[in-house]
């Protein structure tokens, strides 16, 4: 069983920028709870008792919310970067907190990967580094990992062009590492796992393995994928250990939610506290409604996520979209993806 993990809490993320001007990406609400809380619950389910959060963008927002981790039954430490250090550089910055074998997770990945099984594979191979691999149809936007029989990594191809694709197994952003590999990472320098440490370990002949798995994996790096994650959780396509008892057809709402008797709500739907659903409104799940929202008379929502404090005007029809309050003027900002 692993006892420690490093979570790479990245920057603003250009693809999610409409949602992350003043909020670090891992603090974006998923089912009305910060995404990072779902990650901590996942780690806890695998017996991880302490985590180090590698922070760069708006670290105070995360530190003030999570504190020492007591509310999540996990000891939390913070390794804050004065300037972005890259994926491997961020872990090097967290080295003073590390003892023994540890896991590393990218802070924008949601997965049901079995960490215990991956650790067993890692130890059975005598690996210095083991990389979780997931299969995708189009690997051109990812880091492709070629392996030999038995799983030992042969080479890496970062974001190959279509004519360079030799494998559909990609780096899933979850690693199990031995502390010795950190000696190959320069101190206080920008350094990447993908283009720096892992290729360097191969050059040195160190045992680096790929661990393929076929479970759920999603990089919520775009608004559309973020919407898909919320809908997948609501529909029980994957389970969050933070909210394990959701029903795929149910309606979960806070006690102080006000719902007009003529409103129609078909699950799966989650409604935050202080929200109000007016006369004749129709909500067809999967839908997430944040705290203190108001759905106007006769409005319709389908496959949507609303952040805190959103007001939907009477008669509005919203489908396949995200809605939050803009940073200027407090007006609603709708990000729509057309028909599913």
135's tokens? 């299969």
With a CB cutoff of 8 Å and minimum separation 6, the contacts of 209 are 121, 122, 125, 127, 129, 130, 131, 147, 151, 152, 153
Helices (DSSP H) in the chain: which residue ranges? Answer: 35-45, 59-66, 86-93, 115-125, 198-203, 223-234
Write out the H or E segment, with its range, that includes residue 80: strand 75-80
Name residue 321's beta-bridge partners.
Answer: 304, 336
Reduced to 3 states (helix: H, G, I; strand: E, B; else coil), residue 29 is strand
User: Terminus-to-terminus CA distance in the chain, angstroms?
Assistant: 41
* Catalytic residue, candidates 25, 159, 225, 319: 159
Question: Is 159 one of the catalytic residues?
Answer: yes
Residue 63 neighbours by CB distance under 10 Å: 15
The span from the CA of 223 to the CA of 18, in Å, is 8
Residue 339 neighbours by CB distance under 10 Å: 7
Catalytically annotated residues: 159
């Amino acid at each position: 069983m692993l006892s420690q993990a490093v979570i790479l809490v990245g920057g603003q993320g250009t693809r999610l920028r409409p949602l992350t001007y003043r909020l670090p990406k891992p603090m974006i609400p998923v089912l009305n709870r910060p995404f990072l809380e779902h990650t901590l619950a996942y780690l806890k389910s695998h017996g991880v008792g302490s985590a180090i959060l590698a922070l760069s963008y708006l670290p105070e927002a995360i530190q003030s919310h999570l504190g020492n981790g007591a509310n999540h039954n996990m000891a939390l430490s913070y390794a804050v970067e004065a300037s972005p250090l890259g994926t491997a550089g961020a872990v090097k910055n967290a080295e003073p907190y590390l003892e023994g074998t540890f896991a590393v997770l990218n802070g924008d990945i949601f997965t049901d990967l079995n960490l215990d099984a991956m650790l067993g594979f890692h130890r059975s191979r005598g690996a210095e580094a083991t990389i979780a691999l997931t299969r995708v149809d189009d690997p051109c936007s990812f880091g492709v990992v070629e392996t030999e029989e038995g799983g030992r990594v042969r080479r890496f191809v970062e974001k190959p062009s279509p004519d360079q694709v030799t494998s559909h197994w990609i780096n899933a952003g979850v690693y199990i590492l031995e502390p010795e590999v950190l000696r190959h990472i320069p101190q206080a320098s920008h350094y990447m796992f993908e283009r720096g440490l892992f290729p360097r370990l191969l050059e040195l002949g160190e045992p680096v393995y790929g661990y393929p798995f076929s479970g759920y994996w999603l990089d919520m790096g775009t608004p559309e994928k973020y919407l898909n994650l919320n809908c997948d959780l609501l529909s029980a396509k994957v389970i969050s250990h933070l909210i394990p008892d959701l029903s795929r057809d149910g309606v979960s709402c806070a006690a102080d939610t006000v719902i007009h008797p003529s409103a129609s709500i078909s699950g799966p739907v989650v409604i935050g506290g202080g929200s109000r659903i007016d006369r004749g409104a129709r909500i067809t799940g999967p839908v997430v409604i944040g705290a203190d929202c108001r759905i106007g008379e006769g409005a319709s929502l389908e496959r949507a996520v609303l952040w805190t404090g959103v007001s939907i005007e009477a008669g509005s029809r919203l489908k396949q979209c995200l809605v939050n309050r803009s940073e200027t003027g407090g007006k609603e900002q709708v990000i729509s993806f057309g028909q599913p």
